[in-house]
Amino acid sequence: MPFRTEEKEIVCAVCGESSVQTVVAEFDPDTSTPDLDMRPNGEHRSYLKYWVSECPHCGYCNASIDIPVRFTREYLESERYNTVGGSGLAEKFMKMSLVCEKNKVYEEAVKACLFAAWYYDDEKDKEKAAECRRAALRIYDLHRAEFAANPDMILLAAELMRRSGDFERVIREYKGRLLPSMLLIALENFEVALAEKKDSACHRADEAPRVAKK
Ligand SMILES: [Zn+2]
């Protein structure tokens, strides 16, 4: 078992009610090479479901429900929040994404949609996974200035475009674009080469030419 969970009573930052939540108490470090979107291997991915908690009283979803918010409880009752889409774990991640966007933590908002996509990847639901990646891209595009100095996120956006089938955009925006390290440029060139082949499949980072295998 690469991780251990425990039950913890947590007070919700939105409604003030407490509930018992399962949290990851400790985990073995993941030393394997991740996929291009940083998705960990199957064993480490099996605790994805503990990366989001939901308050059973008000529906607040976040990495932990004791994280303070910049909105009132009414937002959790809004149509936008309750019709965000997705099912099961993916729905919780999509709600977490809305919460993070409201809280102005945009990188987490993008990544919560990506985690929802990983759920659908494992469910082998390609179309829903692509929808979640497009939702992640919408947040990236809406708050582009926030990511301008974050080359890891700029590269992740290329991966989100490619995996959701927008090959043209990857080629248009990334071919020849200068990123600040040789590793990032090697990964970027790999994304462009895959896009030129119209390849939307999952690939690992160490498949990229000139990226050292571990
Ligand atoms: Zn609550």
CA separation for the pair 120, 129 (Å, rounded) = 5
| Confidence band, pLDDT 50/70/90 cuts, at residue 92 | very high
Give the relative orientation of helices 151-163 and 106-122 as an angle to the nearest 10 degrees: 30
Q: For residues 8 and 80, state if they share a domain.
A: yes
* Cα 33 to ligand 1 centre (Å): 37
Burial class (CB in 10 A: 0-12, 13-18, 19+), 120: buried
Domain count, the chain: 2
Q: For residues 17 and 114, state if they share a domain.
A: yes
* Cα 128 to ligand 1 centre (Å): 28
Task: Pick left, alpha or beta for residue 35 (phi over 0 → left; psi -120 to 50 → alpha; otherwise beta).
Answer: beta
* Cα 50 to ligand 1 centre (Å): 17
* Cα 5 to ligand 1 centre (Å): 22
Coil vs helix vs strand at 74 = helix
Q: For residues 26 and 73, state if they share a domain.
A: yes
pLDDT at res. 14: 98
* Cα 116 to ligand 1 centre (Å): 21
* Cα 18 to ligand 1 centre (Å): 8
Across 25-29, 38-42, 145-149, 210-214, least confident range: 210-214
Full domain range(s) for residue 46: 3-148
Average pLDDT of the residues of the chain: 94
Q: For residues 79 and 135, state if they share a domain.
A: yes
Q: For residues 60 and 96, state if they share a domain.
A: yes
* Cα 131 to ligand 1 centre (Å): 28
Name beta bridge partners: 22: 7
* Cα 199 to ligand 1 centre (Å): 42
Q: For residues 80 and 101, state if they share a domain.
A: yes
**C-alpha closest to that of 157 among 212, 106, 85:** 106
* Cα 58 to ligand 1 centre (Å): 4
Specify the pTM: 0.94
pLDDT at res. 60: 98
* Cα 166 to ligand 1 centre (Å): 38
Residue 214 clears pLDDT 60, i.e. is over it: no
Protein residues within 5 Å, CB atom, of ion ligand 1: 12, 14-15, 55, 57-58, 60
Q: For residues 26 and 128, state if they share a domain.
A: yes
CA separation for the pair 146, 106 (Å, rounded) = 8
Which whole number is the average pLDDT over 148-153?
A: 96
Q: For residues 111 and 189, state if they share a domain.
A: no
Q: For residues 144 and 173, state if they share a domain.
A: no
